[in-house]
Amino acid sequence: MTTYGIIGAGHIGSQVARAVIGLGHDVVIANSRGPQTLDALVADLGPQARAATAAEAAAAAEIAVVTVPLRAIADIPVEPLAGKVVLDTNNYYWERDGHIEALDRGEKTTSGLLQEHLPTSKVVKAFNHIGAPDITTDGHPAGSAERRALATSSDHPEAVEHVTALYDALGFDTVDVSPLSESWRVERDRPAYVVRQNRAELVENLAKAPRMI
């Protein structure tokens, strides 16, 4: 059993919480407004979940998940996440996040920005190109024709191994698009972004992604 510290309790954070609780893990979950605003969610998630501040969730995490609007990653606590695997679900929506020049110019990646913010953590891309409800409803057994594939990417092989095992437990195949400098291939508006695809289709979509959109 693992304790997941989840920073961000919206569409994706709450659904990743449901998913890992369904696998028997514990969750400490945080938002920006404070744990007292998460009573309804925690009641819904059940006894394996508790609400906390972002700093407390980071400290409690054996595995962390950062799932906030990209503009908020500067607020993510650094020291309590040192040395830990940190799953990054974030995408760049300049309409929501404001323009980030290094992304607009194709010089950096969204997950690379989180890795820069958390230099001693093991940042790994996860769940960024699947709609939140599908995380708990679209899994299928290994080898079945319906099995969907999801991408991951990291500069840390141990973090890729964790996400690959988690995807598998939830019923998804994995395509590794490491290192993080290649992770733009699964960012917003690329062919692999939020479409239902099997492993072969995902490999093909990642290969034909344009660097600039």
Ligand X SMILES: NC(=O)c1ccc[n+]([C@@H]2O[C@H](COP(=O)([O-])OP(=O)(O)OC[C@H]3O[C@@H](n4cnc5c(N)ncnc54)[C@H](OP(=O)(O)O)[C@@H]3O)[C@@H](O)[C@H]2O)c1
> Which chain residues interact with ligand X by CB under 6 A?
7-13, 30-33, 54, 67-70, 72, 75, 89-91, 127-128, 131-132
Residue 156 CB, nearest distance to ligand X (Å)? 20
Q: Give the whole-angstrom CA distance, residue 133 versus residue 107.
A: 32
Query: Which residues make Cβ contacts (< 8 Å) with residue 47, sequence separation at least 6?
Result: none
Judged by CB, which is closer to ligand X: 32, or 198? Answer: 32
Distances (CA, A) of 142 to 25, 149, 162, 180, 213: 21, 11, 17, 26, 34
Q: Give the whole-angstrom CA distance, residue 36 versus residue 125.
A: 29
Take residue 44 and report the two structure tokens written for it: 């819904």
Judged by CB, which is closer to ligand X: 29, or 85? Answer: 29
Contacts 24+ apart (CB under 8 A), 36-40: 38/9
In sign, the C-alpha dihedral spanning 189, 5, 53, 55 is: negative
Judged by CB, which is closer to ligand X: 40, or 145? Answer: 40
Residue 11 CB, nearest distance to ligand X (Å)? 4
Residue 203 CB burial class (10 angstroms; 0-12, 13-18, ≥19) = middle
Judged by CB, which is closer to ligand X: 38, or 159? Answer: 38
Residue 62 CB, nearest distance to ligand X (Å)? 19
Whose CB is nearest to ligand X? Answer: 10
Residue 78 CB, nearest distance to ligand X (Å)? 13
Query: Which residues make Cβ contacts (< 8 Å) with residue 165, sequence separation at least 6?
Result: none
For residue 130, give the nearest of 85, 75, 87 by alpha carbon. 87
Residue 143 CB, nearest distance to ligand X (Å)? 26
Residue 64 CB, nearest distance to ligand X (Å)? 12
Judged by CB, which is closer to ligand X: 40, or 143? Answer: 40
